[in-house]
A = this chain, B = another copy of it.
């Protein structure tokens, strides 16, 4: 894990996209190509064996390959050369069969797909943890009442279970989109120089099938300049991280010292002993800050020229790698946040008072309107809100005082005005439906 990127990945993902991981993916392609070609009768078996052996060895100099990549604008050229040299040293006649029929982009694209394939499991595992934790949290707080807030200000009561169900359903939907796009992206790239597989002659279809089988990828027509499958993964990462970010932002707002309705376990500070920082939320929000730009770069890169692009394709590796790692980092971080979330229902209730109870104003207007008309009801309510703000008297008290002067208002009408449970509306039904409908 590079120090400069340490907040934007997980250890598992950093390993996958490390020099070793990237090298191995490229060599895996070359070895699978050789074995696939041999199985299809396009190259001799001995060559496939030698190439496989050479490709599985250690000791490739990734730094040298990386440094040489810029000359040809692809790491595939020095990689293939290094592999060919190695094969040559083991068994010279096999060398002519290295990379046969493939082009540089076949290596780099399929390697990227292999890295995606590998990255899927650890992210899915964290996602599963997150999903489970969210559902559990929502269930547990199905009837925990709290202030609903719009534009950061008290609106009307909701339940914490409802709020969490909102996070859960959006995250489940966006995960489904991502997972689906991910699955569709797992196709081999093998097209040769201009995507016609001409260098493989009649054996071409068999070589593609065989190589794909070796790699556990689906065969597909070459997609050298049709980047939509990868683009769908990257944009779905963007949508997913945005959904994660929404939850993280909410948690971090609830965790403010003045609100304190929920708190992640968090991390410390290098100087302030009292700090229990929303570190997990910070990581999620950092990912949510980065993804939109990464998505934008990927979309820009997709406008690719003819049969291989100039600029677009060469930009993709760092974009996809950063997008996937940041997504994984965000899923892992939010899973940790939700699993360890301390929720404080007492404080949630206390905050109704702390904020003076204006959260009941809409309900008050609703209750009063039938008796005294909408306009007069609004007047009374606005007056009580103002009085409550000035004099620190709770809104409900102020309004009851005012209501007493209005004979048209039935006695007792406002008695339970400040009982939040009486104004939850469809909260519970919606909550249940949100948790149920993840199949969209």
Contact = CB atoms under 8 A, between A and B. Distances in A.
A99 B271 contact: yes
A51 to B, nearest CB: 14
By DSSP majority rule, is chain A's interface helix, strand, loop, or mixed? helix
Interface in A30-88: 62-63, 65-67, 69-77, 80
Given A3-B69, A5-B321, A282-B314, 16 more contacts: A71-B267, A73-B280, A96-B373, A148-B307, A156-B194, A156-B196, A166-B195, A193-B269, A196-B425, A196-B427, A204-B426, A225-B246, A228-B242, A245-B303, A252-B310, A290-B315
Contacts of A345: none
Contacts of A308: 149-151, 155
Nearest to A200: B425
Contacts of A293: 292-298, 300, 319
A169 B295 CA distance: 22
Contacts of A156: 192-194, 196, 198-199, 272
A270 B198 contact: no
A258 interface: yes
Contact of A4 (B17, B222, B361): B17
A164 interface: no
A197 interface: yes
Interface residues on A, range: 35 or more
A412 B370 CA distance: 63
B73 A277 contact: yes
A402 to B, nearest CB: 13
A143 to B, nearest CB: 13
Contact of A271 (B103, B170, B225, B294): B103
A282 B311 contact: yes
Interface stretch (A6-14, A123-131, A134-142, A403-411): A6-14
Nearest to A350: B258
A67 B11 contact: yes
A193 B290 contact: no
A169 B221 contact: yes
A437 to B, nearest CB: 7
A361 B200 CA distance: 15
12 contacts: A4-B17, A4-B317, A7-B69, A148-B196, A152-B306, A157-B198, A166-B195, A173-B229, A177-B228, A196-B423, A245-B303, A250-B305
A259 B195 CA distance: 21
Contacts of A227: 242
B297 A284 contact: no
B297 A292 contact: yes
A89 interface: no
